[in-house]
Amino acid sequence: MISPEIKKRLFSLFPEDSATDSPEDLLCYGFDATGIESKPEMVLFPTNAEQISEVLRLANEQGFPVTARGAGSGFVGASVPVNHGVVISMTRMNSILSIDPENLTADVEPGVVTADLQKAVEERGFFYPPDPASLKISTIGGNVAMGAGGPRAVKYGVTRDYVLGMEVVLPTGEIVNIGAKTVKSVVGFDLTRLMIGSEGTLGVFTRLRLKLLPKPETVRTTLALFNTVDDSARTVSAIIRSGIIPRTLEFLDRSAINAVTDYMDAGLPTNAEAILLIETDGSEDIAEKELARIRDVCADHKVIETRVAENEEEREKLWTVRRSVSPSLLRIRPNKINEDVTVPRSKIPELMKRLSELSERSGVPIVNFGHAGDGNIHVNIMTDKRDEEEYTRAKGARDELFAICLELEGTISGEHGIGLKKAPYLESEIGPVGVALNRRIKAAFDPNNILNPGKVANCHEV
């Protein structure tokens, strides 16, 4: 519990409307996209690193937990303040500070919305590739903290590949600058990499330096329709084998197509068991040539037909449909266990076969879609929590899913992270020594376990 005296001190540090403890505000900052809820006792809206430093120093002195929050769009409960305390909303630190055209970098505050940064750099002829489907709401700080990925990861990599450095407030309240503005730097341990994907447990980012690329001249988009999931999965492997790395290579199974078609005017074909949404980019001739080769590969793998987006409007519509798949699934069942397992690309056909068997064996619908090009399939085990018996079967299916994924040399999370939801499974992938090492690193940064306790390696046990 935060005492009335501490609240008074925090209100004096955060004047006017930059602090709140009103019940309706607390309700809004205590959940994320998992639906897990736990209310904070106070929410602060800092505008600079010094304010955050003061809060963390006070938290260490008085022993209350602090959790940073971006847009709250996470899928694993990482921003939910399980131990209550203070939530620091980063949404008012939302300026793009500079775009450096010679060094191809952008300096931003962490509360910048991902799509706003993309738009700003594209207007200047640059490109910031990481594109989580939540990009219209998620923040860059949240993306960095979760190591977010997206459809373009198959060609361009994930958020991790675009962070050069940052200003961070450590859990003890010290402010530190890590990383460099240069393309290379090998000075000390790579703390920048350690911070990426640390889920708000090792520090609060207050400024991020990001790498940009030149904007590709053109993008070509095609939909490929298949009679079987197996044909589509084999096509994914064959495209990569043919020496082409497409800009995106997304997969939707029949249930995902049905769900999004019921949800919106999707304009998707109804005669396919699986769809691939494929893009190429670069100069006009290269994008066109690669698209033609990809269509040939599809033809070799029993494609029903390929449809090319004729203009930007058609292309944008296809992406809106793709990004709407996740929310549309709740029409199938009121709850979903949404996992983002990733396997080596060559094992996608085997994974898809095992998922179909798993759905049959467990008797729960499993809907699959996602970033097939990099082996990252979003597996949605659909259920109704009110039906205890079915929910138990659904959870059993999740345990089996993780076991299958590890057997196929995959990982239990490609981009959503561990947070609260996957903490019980962490050891199955990284082993007891890995978990102990994670805990020792957390303790070195945060000896009093103040910052976002209870996440990742069950940090509350430190």
Ligand X SMILES: Cc1cc2nc3c(=O)[nH]c(=O)nc-3n(C[C@H](O)[C@H](O)[C@H](O)COP(=O)(O)OP(=O)(O)OC[C@H]3O[C@@H](n4cnc5c(N)ncnc54)[C@H](O)[C@@H]3O)c2cc1C
Where on the chain is the footprint of ligand X (CB under 6 A)?
32-33, 67-75, 78-79, 90, 110, 132-134, 138-139, 141-143, 145-146, 148-150, 199-200, 204-205, 326-327, 415-416, 452
Q: In the bound complex, what is the minimum distance in angstroms from residue 97's beta carbon to ligand X?
A: 14
Q: What are phi and psi of 13, to 5 degrees?
A: -75, -30
For residue 308, give the nearest of 219, 376, 241, 373 by alpha carbon: 219
Q: In the bound complex, what is the minimum distance in angstroms from residue 161's beta carbon to ligand X?
A: 13
What is d(CA 57, CA 34) in angstroms, rounded to the nearest whole number?
30
What is d(CA 16, CA 12) in angstroms, rounded to the nearest whole number?
9
**CB 43 within 8 Å of CB 85:** no
Q: What are phi and psi of 288, to 5 degrees?
A: -70, -45
A 10 A CB-CB count for 272 gives: 22
Return the percent helix, strand and coil in the chain, to nearest 5: 40, 20, 35
**CB 329 within 8 Å of CB 380:** yes
The widest CA-to-CA distance across the chain, in whole angstroms, is 71
Task: From residue 152, give the alpha-carbon distance in Å to each of 194, 248, 360, 447.
Answer: 23, 5, 32, 38
For residue 333, give the nearest of 369, 368, 380 by alpha carbon: 380
Q: In the bound complex, what is the minimum distance in angstroms from residue 303's beta carbon to ligand X?
A: 25
At 299, which amino acid appears? A
**CB 154 within 8 Å of CB 373:** yes
Question: Between 298 and 381, whose beta carbon lies closer to ligand X?
Answer: 381
Beta bridge partners of 342: 376, 411
What is d(CA 156, CA 215) in angstroms, rounded to the nearest whole number?
12
Question: Between 32 and 339, whose beta carbon lies closer to ligand X?
Answer: 32
